[in-house]
Structure 1
Amino acid sequence: MRHRRLRILVASAVAATLALAGCGSSGNSGSSGGKGGTTEITFWQQQFEPYQQKWFKTYVDKFNASQTAVKVKYQVVPGDTWTQKLKAAQAAGTQPDVATTNYGGIPAGVANGQFAELDGLLPGKAWDDIKPNVSGFVKVDGKHYAYPMLVEPSTVLYYRKDLVTAAGLDPNSPPKTWDELLTWAQKLTKGTVKGMSIASVAPDLGWSSWGLQYNACGHLPINDDWSAANAKDPCYAKLFQLYQTLFQKGWIPQQPKVGYADASPYGQGQVAMMADGSWAVGQLKQSFPAMIKNTMVAPFPSVDGDPSKPTATLGGWTLTVDGKSKQKEAAAKFIDYLLAGDPAIMADFFRQSGFSKYTVRTSVDKALASDPAATSDPFMKIISDKVVATGKAEPAYPFDISLAFATAIESVMKGKSDIPSATQKASDAIDRVIKQQHLKGTAPKG
């Protein structure tokens, strides 16, 4: 589970490279006219948690058995070989018809012709079923190029009921503002137990703070058209001060042994609260089951207490059809079956995930609303209704920009720089990235 976010960021970083490779390929990995007129397509899935491979295999087999028009050849590709294998296939013109693609990789892939437009290939009702705040994740210039599968909020607040009660706090009334969060962190820091854990190094801060950047300012540290940095906006001061106070007061671990995505410090009792993504639910259930009954979740607090403002970005995965595929209709038929069809199919996926990932379709929400396993889960409804519902898309710009701003956060956090100096340095670094990578005017339009 802890490697999940790394794979997403790696996939995002190499998206442009893969897209360029795709442009040079002749395309076509499927074949038609097989036995009984069956069209054969290939589907490559990047390797995820073991239950996901089992789920994909189950429903590929069910799809193949349900009809004779399309046969799917399914292949799991390990994450550490995905880039190399896909690039080689694209160069040889044998790339898969269907592949798993993260949200951040879509704009670059579309710009370079890697993905087929899906409007007209999937029924209109499939698009109408997607939640409004997720719909734009798979669109470029108003056209759909992927069908979403799931979202994973980057930031959720987890806390221990026993320690919260012992500190004289009400576990049924979690902090709503950043100031209240600081009060909780202070009161929960006792002995060897820190008040909370949160990202504290630039590589983790680079992606885990996106939602809080939106929360503080309503925008990210770059202009909407990617023409210039916007890192010096005064509204970011409270964001810097939040991280700075937590670190310098000693309310979070000073030298964490694991990254932000790993819930182990919370599971092992080293911290009383934890900021982590929704995937932490799965890790706690699998590795620290005894902690579940003593854990509550809430949306991460907002800078001013407004619950409608985002505090998390929504990462996740989609299925795309290769732009050079000669079997686009057959490929779309498979995607329609797996991701956009019977809500029970995706409801089963979320059940298998331990409800650590979240649906993008209103019909699947309705299916889960009548599922005893979902309704009895202590976390699912809160995360779905109060975190996913306000989540924003992960930015599509190069991670270099996120890292520049995150470096500023870490510098202020650890007392190496003041806010004006750090944000000026970040602004200069972002402007250099814009110039060197020719980003001006290239921001994707939903």
Structure 2
Amino acid sequence: MHKRRSRLLLTVAATLAAGLVLAGCSGAGGGAKTENGKTVVTFWQQKFEDYQQAWFKKYVDKYNASQDKVKIDYQVVPADTWPQKLKAAQAAGKSPDVATTNYGNIAAGVVNGQFAQLDDLMPAKAFSDIKDNVKSFVSSDGKHYAYPMLVEPSTVLYYRTDLAKAAGLDPASPPKTWSELLEWAKKLTNGKVKGMTIASVAADLGWSSWGLQYSACGHLPINDDWSKAQATEPCFGKLADFYKALYKGGYMPQQPKVGYADATPYGQGEVAMMADGSWAVGQLKNDFKDMVAKTAVAPFPSMDGSSNKTTATLGGWTLTVDAKSKAKQQAADFINYLLAGDPEIMADFFKTSGFSKYTVRTSVDEALASNPEASSDPFMKIISEQVVPNGKQEPGYPWDISLAFGTGIESAMKGSADVPTSMKTANDAINDVIQKQSLAGTAPKQ
């Protein structure tokens, strides 16, 4: 579900450029439509893994069978045609009543009046059940404009327990600091097997390092109101030094065949450790089953070893109601049923996912705790209890800022320029984006 090729987020500033289009043509929806005396609520789901379509259909069918006055018209839209189809529907005044929306698009949609406010449409207990560090992902000025479905931490440490033992390392005590991780990577580099794989090109570094930026500095390389770059702070230089040490030490592939999000090099035994998102759990279970028993996970190390510091941002998906839907209440009732109602419904989703996605609700955590499959899963407990609670929201600023910072890290990592020069170049590029896109003062309010 992560769909990392969609990482170029539709953010506030990017959407403001098309603000008149989005704000003016958020569609009327299909809520006014009736069929056999039932109000038809259109639900567009962006296509994800096959098991997810089956899961959505299962519960849409159950919901429809329970309703006398409402019918959910469920439609799956391929990811590569989603933006064009949604824009065309908006222009024609036929936006879906309910749609899957990722966290990075919520703030932009709120600014442009795209989403209905849900607080008056859903029970208060639905929102109190959302975990505290996720509530801000779907809210603005204290009001909720989406209901979250799941989170996927962007950065988890995966490591081979058998290779760790062979190298004289204790698999029960994984590295806690960046310096310890470098030492592990050095000891695990053996012949054709590299010690570590991590992002190494700007496009991947731009988003996969967000959590490590928080770990290094406690904030991102732009100030809170988006008026000034902060990439030249010494702590960001230490982050660049960390990547450089991995690369220049020869502890990681110098020319990786796949991007950060793909666990294939680890699954094929080419590396002993991997930085990857939680979605890699699903890939290992599906494609590299023999590797699962040899693998352990841990929170990615923080710069100083603090266990409560952010090292991962949390991506994921929500359901939203179109602001001009004629069936807002019926649409919200469906969302309440599917995502906010009986915890066993979402527990079933996480089971179906192979426990590679993580819940945003306290009650679903409790339901999973009593599920033998969930409690015995070798990865779920650590990721859900030690990674997710410290995760932060993905930034809502334009992708150009993340790419500028990622370009700086790649430059320092590979020696195209020294660390101070690389960070200054990134800083200048971020300030240029701020000026050209008039970002100062536009950061969304939470």
TM-score, length-scaled by structure 1: 0.97
Contact 1:19–1:113 (CA<8 Å) still a contact in 2?
no
**Distance in structure 1 (CA, Å) of the matches to 2:23 and 2:324:** 8
Q: Which residue of 1 aligns with 2:342?
A: 342
Q: What are the within-5 Å matches in structure 2 for residues 403-422 of structure 1?
A: 403-422=403-422
SS in 2 for 1:44: strand
* 1:263-304 superposed Cα distances (whole Å, 9 cap, x missing partner): 000000000000000000000000000000010000000100
Q: Which residue of 2 aligns with 1:217?
A: 217
In the alignment, residue 317 of structure 1 is paired with which amino acid?
W
Contact 2:11–2:397 (CA<8 Å) still a contact in 1?
no
**Distance in structure 1 (CA, Å) of the matches to 2:206 and 2:121:** 36
* 1:397-444 superposed Cα distances (whole Å, 9 cap, x missing partner): 001000001101000000111122111111111111111111110101
Is 2:187 the partner of 1:187? yes
Q: Which residue of 1 aligns with 2:232?
A: 232
In the alignment, residue 390 of structure 1 is paired with which amino acid?
N
Cα deviation for residue 31 of structure 1 reads 3.6
Cα deviation for residue 27 of structure 1 reads 2.6
Cα deviation for residue 22 of structure 1 reads 3.2
RMSD: 1.5
Is 2:121 the partner of 1:121? yes
Provide structure 1 residue ranges, at least 5 long, that are not aligned to the other structure: none
Which moved further from structure 2: 393-402 or 227-236? 227-236
Contact 1:18–1:86 (CA<8 Å) still a contact in 2?
no
Q: Which residue of 1 aligns with 2:148?
A: 148
Query: Do the aligned partners of residues 83 and 236 (structure 1) sit closer, same or farther apart at CA in structure 2, a change above 3 Å counting?
Result: same
Q: Which residue of 1 aligns with 2:41?
A: 41
Cα deviation for residue 17 of structure 1 reads 6.6
**Distance in structure 1 (CA, Å) of the matches to 2:305 and 2:98:** 43
Q: Which residue of 2 aligns with 1:204?
A: 204
Cα deviation for residue 33 of structure 1 reads 7.4
Q: Which residue of 1 aligns with 2:362?
A: 362
Q: What are the within-5 Å matches in structure 2 for residues 104-115 of structure 1?
A: 104-115=104-115
Which moved further from structure 2: 63-72 or 359-368? 63-72
Query: Do the aligned partners of residues 75 and 110 (structure 1) sit closer, same or farther apart at CA in structure 2, a change above 3 Å counting?
Result: same
* 1:2-23 superposed Cα distances (whole Å, 9 cap, x missing partner): x721124355597557765332
**Distance in structure 1 (CA, Å) of the matches to 2:62 and 2:19:** 31
**Distance in structure 1 (CA, Å) of the matches to 2:179 and 2:98:** 47
**Distance in structure 2 (CA, Å) of the matches to 1:17 and 1:437:** 9
* 1:61-80 superposed Cα distances (whole Å, 9 cap, x missing partner): 11111122321101000011
**Distance in structure 2 (CA, Å) of the matches to 1:296 and 1:358:** 17
Q: Which residue of 1 aligns with 2:269?
A: 269
Query: Do the aligned partners of residues 11 and 286 (structure 1) sit closer, same or farther apart at CA in structure 2, a change above 3 Å counting?
Result: farther
Is 2:308 the partner of 1:308? yes
Contact 1:25–1:324 (CA<8 Å) still a contact in 2?
no
SS in 2 for 1:195: coil
Q: What is the aligned residue count?
A: 445
Q: Which residue of 2 aligns with 1:252?
A: 252
**Distance in structure 2 (CA, Å) of the matches to 1:166 and 1:299:** 22
**Distance in structure 1 (CA, Å) of the matches to 2:255 and 2:220:** 28
**Distance in structure 1 (CA, Å) of the matches to 2:61 and 2:7:** 27
Q: Which residue of 2 aligns with 1:4?
A: 3
In the alignment, residue 112 of structure 1 is paired with which amino acid?
N
Q: Which residue of 2 aligns with 1:74?
A: 74
**Distance in structure 1 (CA, Å) of the matches to 2:90 and 2:21:** 6
In the alignment, residue 275 of structure 1 is paired with which amino acid?
A
Contact 1:18–1:109 (CA<8 Å) still a contact in 2?
no
Contact 1:38–1:68 (CA<8 Å) still a contact in 2?
yes
Q: Which residue of 2 aligns with 1:380?
A: 380
Contact 2:30–2:95 (CA<8 Å) still a contact in 1?
no
Q: Which residue of 2 aligns with 1:330?
A: 330
Q: Which residue of 2 aligns with 1:432?
A: 432
Query: Do the aligned partners of residues 84 and 33 (structure 1) sit closer, same or farther apart at CA in structure 2, a change above 3 Å counting?
Result: closer
Contact 2:26–2:322 (CA<8 Å) still a contact in 1?
no
Q: Which residue of 1 aligns with 2:401?
A: 401
* 1:247-277 superposed Cα distances (whole Å, 9 cap, x missing partner): 0010000000000000000000000000000
Provide structure 2 residue ranges, at least 5 long, that are not aligned to the other structure: none
**Distance in structure 2 (CA, Å) of the matches to 1:188 and 1:125:** 49
Query: Do the aligned partners of residues 33 and 222 (structure 1) sit closer, same or farther apart at CA in structure 2, a change above 3 Å counting?
Result: closer
In the alignment, residue 152 of structure 2 is paired with which amino acid?
E
How high is the sequence identity, in percent, across the aligned residues? 69
Contact 1:282–1:353 (CA<8 Å) still a contact in 2?
yes
